[in-house]
Amino acid sequence: MTEFCRLDKLLPWKNSSIRVKVYRRRETEDSEGNPAMDFILADKYGKKIHATVSHQYFHRFKRDLPEDEWREITNVHVSDRNWNHPTHMLARHQYMITLDGPTGVRPIPSLRDSHMFDFTDFNQVITRVVDAAYPIDLTGVVGYIGKLQPTELDNEEKTCIPFHLKDHRNQEIYCVAYGQLAPDFNIQRRSFTQADTVICVLSEWRVTFHNGEVLVTGEGGLARIFINPWIEERDVMRHRFLHPDVEEPQDNNSVAGSSSAVIC
């Protein structure tokens, strides 16, 4: 009988079997320009790990590991190396998974119904306690939204849109969406009014520092924006923002008339 390992119990340089959700994935290229793919896999306990596949097996795992689906994966190779730049990691796990020829994949039912966001406190970002090498999740109320505009990022011409995100303590973080996230967010903003309390979740975004200022940025790929998502934290955030003197909402039922959208 196959023994399945929790992600936080994986050991390097041995083959293991896991049951995970394909949380995120993106197509990329190897050093020779061949197609490759990065995955973020998550188990039912919410632990995430970066997995990679080379161009030899690119098409196979692109087919077998669709995003948002749960899979039983056997014979994964666990490495104690992380092949990303040390200032730009994809997951907080100390190890990394390589998917190759002996790896087996089988669909399984969902093992967890709730979301897998791991929200960072605004104060950790503002005071620079958070480690900028890792992506973060944030949730807050959308404040100021700037104009869709061209900009240069990493020597490339890209589109961006700046906006502010506030928590229930009225702490504010300056955020910038780049690439396809920017026009998609600009379309969503048209449904907002100044009277709306719009809850936003930023998933897999990055903390950056520019001219002494703290920014949170998302460029697409693995990063996403959720507008009024159907999660318990949305109602908690809305209630705390509208009623700062009360700790918890009276109930966690969704607010009538609200809607949910994801931008990725």
Q: Where are the domains of the chain?
A: 7-107, 122-263
pLDDT tens digit sequence for 168-196 = 889 999 999 999 999 999 998 888 776 67
Report whether 83 contacts 40 (CB < 8 A): no
Q: Is the pLDDT of residue 218 over 70?
A: yes
pLDDT tens digit sequence for 27-52 = 998 888 899 999 999 999 999 999 99
pLDDT at 33: 87
pLDDT at 252: 43
Which is nearest to 117 in space by CA: 216, 204, 40, 209?
204
pLDDT tens digit sequence for 223-239 = 999 998 888 777 777 77
pLDDT band of 87, cuts 50, 70, 90: confident
* Dist CA 145 CA 201 (whole Å): 15
pLDDT at 254: 37
Per CATH, which fold does 122-263 belong to?
A: OB fold (Dihydrolipoamide Acetyltransferase, E2P) (2.40.50)
In eight-state DSSP terms, residue 124 is: H
Per CATH, which fold does 7-107 belong to?
A: OB fold (Dihydrolipoamide Acetyltransferase, E2P) (2.40.50)
Helix, strand counts (H, E) of the chain: 4, 14
pLDDT band of 80, cuts 50, 70, 90: confident
187: how many CB neighbours lie within 10 A of its CB?
Answer: 11
* Dist CA 240 CA 180 (whole Å): 31
pLDDT at 239: 74
| Same-fold call for 7-107 versus 122-263 | yes
pLDDT band of 5, cuts 50, 70, 90: very high
Mean pLDDT (the chain, rounded) = 87
pLDDT at 105: 97
Report whether 49 contacts 92 (CB < 8 A): no
pLDDT at 253: 40
